Amino acid sequence: MAVRALVQRVLDWFPAVLARLGLVERVKATEAFDLAVPVMVTGGLRVLLRMADFLFVGLALGDAAIAGLELGFQYYFIGFGLSLALTSGTISVVSRLQGAGERARANLAVKQSLWLSLAVSLPLTAVSWVYAEPLVGVLTGDPAVVRYGSAYLQVVMLSLAFQFWSMVSARALAGSGDTRTPMYVRLLTLPTNVVLNAVLVFGLGPAPTLGVVGAALGTAIANMVAALVFFALLASGRYDVTLPLGGRQFDAGLVREIVRVASPLAGMRLLQTTARFPFLFILGVLGTPAVAAYAIGRRVMMFALMPAWGYSTAASTLVGQSLGAGHEDEATDYGWQTLRLGLVTQLLAAGVLVLAARPIATAFGTAHVDLTVDFIRVFGLATAGFSVSRTMRGSLRGAGDTHWPLYGTFIGSYVVRIPLAALALPTAVTISVAGFSMTPGLGLGYPAIFLALLGDYYTKAVVNTGRFWSGHWKAVARRASVGSAD
């Protein structure tokens, strides 16, 4: 108890200092921080896991395996992104129902999310198992990269349905204001995942040496364990939201509202993910070292970006619950206070990693340290844009207003990132699409790649912030109906 009290005192200190500096309002900032920290810890563990995957595989097999892991993971990320979109619908609906005092319907919403997650994840798993090699082969002509990437993809996708349910459970609990229970589950399963990956990648002890397949298998096992733990917790009935196994199984009104909120976010996730494919193709033209350096840099900087995930969830919960209780002005204030708090946290985290970029890059065993350091530092410059974009998206999500983040993603990814990145291509490269041939490159190389990344993140930040500042999301929340049963 003394340790817990000490930890809580330290956590209370951060928003208190910012409040003393006049940057935030202490009470609301403390509420947001308390909700965000467990999500940050959970997200940080998840990022450390992904970093460990790349570190282990890089040390064991080199840059080609790192590149293969990155390309295979992009297809897994389609499913992961859709799970995030679906759970965004879950947290929006659950938080508003909890704010309105309708706990039974909040529980029923969790069940609807479970059925929706199975309907989406199982077909994706089947497609990835059958077509893993040609899917990865679209992005690179390097046979070693294709071999590594497809092997990883086939195995890791076997646990996609379990990953969906874990995300649904975590977001449902967050929608009720409980972000600590998901953190405790991840504190159990993610370190186990790291140990499994190390054992299976390197073949420690009696375990076989499985390389990238070992990384995928360790992740798949951990996803299954986490899903089973979440299922047991929600089915126990001991939490503010539960999974009622009996009784009503389907509610069309709740399904429509979850899908209404999730659909634009699913579109946004698909836009983000599909935009990465031409971007990775461009990096592939520049060479396998470029793909590997980007993969390492992105994984490292995702650790600095974790606070934004926490503040986004906190904003969704606080804005959604305030709207459910009919307090629109309070919801607005929560959105801005969470943004200020998140931005300060992000910049501090990014500064530390940028300063440590070189030793971090060296640790991954890459043969191209300087290029990797450049990517880490560029992602560091993009951190403020990511923080603003993600936190504002969380506030809009709490209101059920998810169309504008979709618009921002389209503009940032397809109008800014891809065209600017294409300028990096050598002038001799010709691309053919649907019978049309073009030579988009100007031979600008990596400066165009770096500018594309920065432009993408800051464009999304402008769109999401502008939408929240307009106040039109309040009308969207008023029109949404989650309280009446069909």
Ordered by start, the domain boundaries in the chain are: 25-479
CA neighbor of 167 nearest in space, from 43, 275, 317: 43
Task: Answer yes or no: are the C-beta atoms of 382 and 457 closer than 8 Å.
Answer: yes
| CA–CA distance, 345 with 214 (Å, rounded to integer) | 35
- How far is it, in rounded angstroms, from Cα 285 to Cα 96? 47
Q: Do 390 and 311 contact (CB within 8 A), yes or no?
A: yes
**Per-residue pLDDT tens over the stretch 445-485:** 899 999 999 999 999 999 999 999 998 888 888 876 554 44
What's 158's DSSP letter? G
Predicted local distance difference test score (pLDDT) of residue 431: 61
The pLDDT-based confidence of 417 (bands split at 50, 70, 90) is very high
How far apart CA 161 and CA 122 sit, in angstroms, is 6
Query: Which is higher by pLDDT, 290 or 302?
Result: 290
Q: Mean pLDDT over all residues of the chain?
A: 83
Residue 434 has pLDDT above 50, yes or no: no
For 480, list phi and psi in degrees, rounded to 5.
Answer: -70, 140
Highest mean pLDDT among 32-36, 43-47, 197-201: 197-201
Top-confidence residue, 8 or 448? 448
* Distance between CA atoms of residues 204 and 195, nearest Å: 10
Say if residues 212 and 68 touch (Cβ distance below 8 Å): yes
CA–CA gap between residue 344 and residue 415 (Å, rounded): 29
Provide Rg for the chain, Cα atoms. 22
Q: How confident is the model at residue 206 (pLDDT cuts 50, 70, 90)?
A: confident
Residue 370 is which amino acid?
D
pTM of the model: 0.70
- Helices within 138-177 (DSSP H only): 143-156, 160-175
Beta pairing partners, 436: 433
* pLDDT (average), residues 281-297: 88
> Are the beta carbons of 407 and 415 closer than 8 angstroms?
no
**Residue % of the chain over a pLDDT of 70:** 92
Looking at the chain, the whole-number percentage of residues with pLDDT higher than 90 is 17
Distance CA 333, CA 85 (A): 25
Instruction: Kindly state the DSSP code that residue 368 receives in the 8-state scheme.
Output: -
pLDDT in tens, 385-399: 988 999 999 899 888
Q: Is the pLDDT of residue 486 over 50?
A: no
DSSP H or E stretch at residue 345 = helix 328-355
| Angle subtended at Cα 69 by Cα 295 and Cα 438, rounded to the nearest 5 degrees | 65
b/e map 271-305, b = 16+ CB within 10 Å: bbbebbbbbbbbbbbbebbbbbbbbbbbbbbbbbb
Cβ burial of 146 (10 Å; 0-12, 13-18, 19+) is buried
Q: Is 70 exceeded by the pLDDT of residue 308?
A: yes
Residues 216 and 200: their CA atoms lie apart, in Å, by: 9
Q: Identify the pLDDT of residue 466.
A: 94
- Render pLDDT for 143-179 as a digit per residue (tens, 0 to 9): 898 999 999 999 989 988 898 888 888 877 877 778 7
